[in-house]
Amino acid sequence: MSRATRLLDLLQLLRRHRAPVSGPALAEALGVSIRTLYRDIATLQAQGADIQGEPGLGYVLRPGFTLPPLMFSVDELEALVLGSRWVAVRGDARLGAAAADAVAKIRAVLPDALRETVDAATLTVPMLRDEPVAVDVAVIRGAARREHKLVITYRDLDGADTTRTIWPLLIGFFDRVQVLAAWCELRQDYRGFRVDRIRSVEARDERFPRRRAVLVKEWRARQGLHATARN
């Protein structure tokens, strides 16, 4: 393994952990001596990586240090291109445009050989016709990010419309539909809403009474319990 590759691998290891990681654990993961690890950490710090810590306490990489896209491997580039193609096919128009713009920015700074890898990516996504969506999904995503409530008109399987005040949490992408996971004030419980059955959406300035991260954690725990019960 070249030293440049080892330094990149070290950065990736540190990025995966929010809490400090001990020097011996990092050295073992990289297959190097502890002395080599300390030299590599010093090299990265000299290049601007905000790695904090010391022997005996562990090391953590603070946010803000980025690598130029030309450091991507071929597999990483193919993964990015595949992901962007999937979003372009399955996401709404704004997400699709954002995915295309992201790949274009990466492609613009790549050397010729890697630029050809992007252009000739071997992975693709089949074109599927999703159920038509009547609302701007970007409004739902924005409300979830800001932790603001939404008022929606929702049409059930029988064609009846109800007005709900919800706390949008996540949007799940399935084969042909998107499902919004949210807390429903009407039902006083977590509910899944098919996005294609939402007839109207209105963002409110009112924030969730609880943090979205806490709600998502609780929702995931409920999903795990339901899965266990089914099994």
Calculate the CA dihedral of residues 150, 155, 157, 158 and round it to 10 degrees. 140
pTM exceeds 0.85 for this model? no
- The pLDDT value given to residue 68: 54
The letter for the amino acid at 54 is E
Determine the longest span between alpha carbons in the chain, in angstroms: 69
Nearest C-alpha neighbor of 177 from the set 133, 213, 227, 225: 133
Q: Give the CA angle between residues 164, 165, 169 to the nearest 5°.
A: 110
Report mean pLDDT in 10-residue bins for the chain, 231 residues. Answer: 77 84 92 92 86 87 64 78 85 85 77 74 72 89 95 93 96 88 96 95 96 94 62 35
The token pair that represents 213 in the structure block: 């991260």
- The pLDDT value given to residue 228: 42
- Measure the CA–CA gap between 21 and 13, rounded to whole angstroms: 9
- Measure the CA–CA gap between 131 and 196, rounded to whole angstroms: 6
Nearest C-alpha neighbor of 215 from the set 176, 181, 185: 181
- The pLDDT value given to residue 161: 95
- The pLDDT value given to residue 154: 97
Question: To 10 degrees, what angle do helices 3-15 and 23-30 make?
Answer: 130
- The pLDDT value given to residue 120: 76
- The pLDDT value given to residue 227: 46
- The pLDDT value given to residue 142: 93
